[in-house]
């Protein structure tokens, strides 16, 4: 599957967060998430494994009991069902990879 960035839609989720669904199929999915400064990714959990790569900006991320500041080039792993969330300190973009795919994002 080829996904041209120009052919994808940046969906406004409100409160300074937007999401772009990228390639997905089988058991994997890539999603680009844009945050304005001060936007919050509320604490939540899900049954998917998730890798997050910081493409730009600066974020305060909490995974389980640990909180760290992350920047461009940093990568985070979230095991299934672990509580996690973030606050955007400097506007930026995250690249999330999920397995299995987030069916809830496609509906």
Per-residue pLDDT at 19 = 98
* Contact criterion met (CB below 8 Å) for 70 and 61: yes
pTM of the model: 0.95
- Region 86-97: mean pLDDT is 98
Per-residue pLDDT at 50 = 98
Average pLDDT, the chain: 97
pLDDT tens track for 27-80: 999 999 999 999 999 999 999 999 999 999 999 999 999 999 999 999 999 999
Contacts of 47 (CB under 8 A, 6+ apart): 80, 81
β pairing state of 10-14 and 17-25 = antiparallel
């Amino acid at each position: 599957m080829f996904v041209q960035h120009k052919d994808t839609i940046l969906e406004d989720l409100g409160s300074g967060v937007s999401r772009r669904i990228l390639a997905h199929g089988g058991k994997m999915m890539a999603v680009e998430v844009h945050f304005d400064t001060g936007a919050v990714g509320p604490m939540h959990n899900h049954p998917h494994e998730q890798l997050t790569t910081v493409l730009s900006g600066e974020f305060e991320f909490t995974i389980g009991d640990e909180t760290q500041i992350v920047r461009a080039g940093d990568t985070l792993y979230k095991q299934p069902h672990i509580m996690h969330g973030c606050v955007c300190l400097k506007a930026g973009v995250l690249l999330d990879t999920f397995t299995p795919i987030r069916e809830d994002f496609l509906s």
